[in-house]
Amino acid sequence: MAHRLIELEQKALRLQDAGKHKEAAELFAALVNEQPDWEHGQGFYSLAINYEDSGQLDKAEEAYKAALRFQPAYDIFLGGYAAFLYLHRDPKTAFRAHLELLEIEKINNDAAAVKSTTLALRTVGKKMGLSEAEIESRINKGLSSE
């Protein structure tokens, strides 16, 4: 069974690379249907990306959330979800997701990621209509400001 699932994932990734996101999503959906915990949530994350890229935004959001249930503090999954929220949902939810991501990146001592997420928070904050001072205050307070 595992060999068949690996082949399924590889085929889905080839379709994704070819820009055939709807078809790739169908294969990733079959993969996670058969083995929901595939690669500790990677199957759902890949599904989310392809749903998003094919315009199936509600399904994409559910798949991002499913991936995060397996690894809630994984910066890749959370970063993808935060970007999705910024692009397709309300800025306040995106801001909170970015704050969560920032905390994880600080714990991981990833200075480059902290810098990038801080910039994203400033962008999302502006989209929310916050002043520079309010954005900085919320960044400095972290999730306790929410």
> Mean pLDDT, to the nearest integer, of 48-54?
98
CATH of the domain at 67: 1.25.40.10
- By the 10 Å C-beta count (0-12 exposed, 13-18 middle, 19+ buried), 57 is classed as middle
Q: Are residues 82 and 145 in the same domain?
A: yes
How many Å apart are CA 96 and CA 71, to the nearest integer? 17
Per residue in 69-123, pLDDT (tens digit) is 999 999 999 999 999 999 999 999 999 999 999 999 999 999 999 999 999 999 9
Q: Are residues 80 and 146 in the same domain?
A: yes
Q: Are residues 35 and 91 in the same domain?
A: no
How many Å apart are CA 93 and CA 86, to the nearest integer? 8
End residue of a domain, out of 17, 45, 71: 71
End residue of a domain, out of 71, 92, 120: 71
DSSP string of 2-33, one letter each residue = HHHHHHHHHHHHHHHHTT-HHHHHHHHHHHHH
End residue of a domain, out of 71, 99, 129: 71
Q: Are residues 66 and 77 in the same domain?
A: no
Residue 142: per-residue pLDDT: 86
Q: Evaluate if residue 132 carries a pLDDT over 60.
A: yes
Q: Evaluate if residue 31 carries a pLDDT over 60.
A: yes
How many Å apart are CA 39 and CA 143, to the nearest integer? 29
Q: Are residues 80 and 136 in the same domain?
A: yes
Q: Are residues 62 and 81 in the same domain?
A: no
Higher-confidence residue of 1 and 58: namely 58
Q: Evaluate if residue 146 carries a pLDDT over 70.
A: no
Range(s) of the domain holding residue 8: 1-71
